[in-house]
């Protein structure tokens, strides 16, 4: 009886009618959530330093090793092409990367009186406009949040005000890596062959005899040149593949007028309405071409040059609090979720 009484008292202290398997699983994973919220945010600082160091090393190799060789061996037309395109691509990468990591993605106001007709964030207990989501790493809501970017080495949330900078950085970095891989292919092949031949000669112990000529001897500068070219090509080629896939993924989302978070939400909504015989329509999509115009901020034809092909710090359309029809949209679509 004492055992049963003690057991009953213990259960009465720990009993909760809302407890189930999901609650227990969330409680067990609470240390993991804490680790994500407090530790992984420092990973972004390491990634920023890493991307700056790797990019600087590639630029240094190009200027120290490859550029003098290009000036000596290439024709004037090819020299002008490499100088013009290479420096333009580099400027676009540096500009958009700097803007992406320093520009705030945008946050809704904390005052509840400023906005009406919107929901309230359960974590911030503050107004939550349309397309706004709460970032657990930043611990605040972000306007038109796409994701908290650490994989692309930004250490910043990607939202309304820096989404274009993030995508442009990925695009121009991919273009730069492909440019270096294609331009340096012949140099990479020759450098790798020289390193491999010298290594095999040393491993086989080929000495200077009548049948075996001596292996070529390279100076320290030549060996450093060969290894630098191999390092440049391998790094650029390995970065171009995943970063190019990420760029294509975001390009598809932009074409559909969605963010990474909205893709999952719209997919579930599309499946739910499909069971009811209805068709889902994204209220923030204006067509493929107009979606790109809205995203890039192209309002006139000259903006393709001044805002897309040249560095531009223009603001995106709207404030992120409301989503009115942009002026560059040719046709107004009915703002219906389903028909």
Tell me: the pLDDT tens digits for 229-282?
A: 999 999 999 999 999 999 999 999 999 999 988 888 888 888 888 888 888 888
Confidence grade of residue 27 (pLDDT, cut at 50, 70, 90): confident
What DSSP string runs through 246-284? HHHHHHHHHHHT--HHHHHHHHHHHHHHHHTT--B--TT
Residue 276 buriedness (CB in 10 A; 0-12 / 13-18 / 19+): exposed
Looking at the predicted structure, is the pLDDT value of residue 38 above 70?
no
Rounded average pLDDT over 194-207: 64
Confidence grade of residue 292 (pLDDT, cut at 50, 70, 90): very high
Looking at the predicted structure, is the pLDDT value of residue 172 above 50?
yes
Quick check: pTM over 0.75? yes
Q: Quote the Cα angle for 40-44-50, to 5°.
A: 130
Rounded average pLDDT over 194-210: 61
Largest Cα span, the chain = 101
Which of the residues 141, 149, 157, 170 is marked catalytic?
149
The predicted-structure confidence for 227-238, as pLDDT tens digits, reads as follows 999 999 999 999
Indicate the average pLDDT of the chain: 83
> Who's near 193: CB < 8 A, 6+ residues apart?
none
How far is Cα 224 from Cα 313, in angstroms, rounded to an integer? 40
How far is Cα 36 from Cα 114, in angstroms, rounded to an integer? 33
Q: Return the domain boundaries, the chain.
A: 31-329
* Residue 289 annotated in active site: no
Helices (H), 103-219: 163-183, 185-204
Looking at the predicted structure, is the pLDDT value of residue 21 above 80?
no
Range among 83-87, 137-141, 202-206 rated most confident: 83-87
Buried/exposed 245-259: b ≥16 CB within 10 Å, e otherwise: ebbeebeebbeebbb
Structural tokens at position 223? 């060996």
Phi, psi of 286 (to 5 degrees): -115, 15
Asked if residue 239 lies in contact with residue 152, where contact means CB atoms within 8 angstroms, the answer is: no
Confidence grade of residue 150 (pLDDT, cut at 50, 70, 90): low
């Amino acid at each position: 009886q004492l055992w049963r009484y003690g057991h009953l008292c213990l259960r009465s202290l720990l009993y909760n009618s809302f407890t189930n398997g999901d609650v227990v699983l969330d409680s067990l994973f609470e240390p993991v959530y804490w680790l994500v919220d407090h530790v992984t945010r420092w990973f972004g600082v390491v990634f920023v330093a890493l991307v700056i160091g790797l990019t600087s090393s590639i630029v240094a190799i190009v200027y120290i090793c490859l550029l003098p060789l290009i000036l000596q061996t290439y024709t004037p037309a090819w020299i002008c092409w490499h100088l013009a395109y290479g420096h333009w691509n580099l400027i676009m990468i540096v500009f958009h990367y700097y803007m992406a990591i320093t520009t705030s993605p945008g946050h809704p106001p904390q005052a509840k009186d400023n906005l009406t007709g919107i929901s309230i964030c359960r974590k911030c207990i503050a107004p939550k406009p349309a397309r706004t989501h709460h970032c657990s790493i930043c611990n605040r809501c972000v306007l038109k949040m796409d994701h908290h970017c650490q994989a692309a080495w930004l250490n910043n949330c990607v939202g309304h005000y820096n989404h274009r900078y993030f995508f442009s950085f990925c695009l121009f970095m991919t273009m730069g890596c492909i440019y270096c891989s294609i331009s340096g292919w012949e140099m990479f092949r020759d450098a790798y062959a020289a390193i491999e031949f010298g290594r095999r000669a040393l491993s086989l112990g080929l000495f200077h005899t009548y049948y075996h000529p001596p292996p070529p001897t390279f100076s320290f500068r030549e060996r450093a040149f060969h290894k630098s070219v191999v390092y440049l090509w391998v790094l650029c080629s390995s970065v171009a593949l995943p970063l190019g896939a990420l760029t294509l993924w975001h390009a598809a989302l932009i074409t559909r007028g969605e963010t990474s978070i909205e893709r999952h939400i719209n997919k579930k909504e599309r499946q739910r309405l499909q069971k009811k015989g209805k068709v889902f329509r994204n209220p923030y999509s204006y067509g493929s071409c107009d979606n790109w115009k809205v995203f890039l901020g192209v309002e006139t034809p000259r903006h393709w040059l001044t805002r897309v092909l040249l560095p531009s710090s223009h603001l995106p359309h709207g404030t992120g609090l409301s989503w009115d029809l942009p002026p560059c949209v040719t046709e107004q679509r009915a703002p219906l979720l389903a028909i």
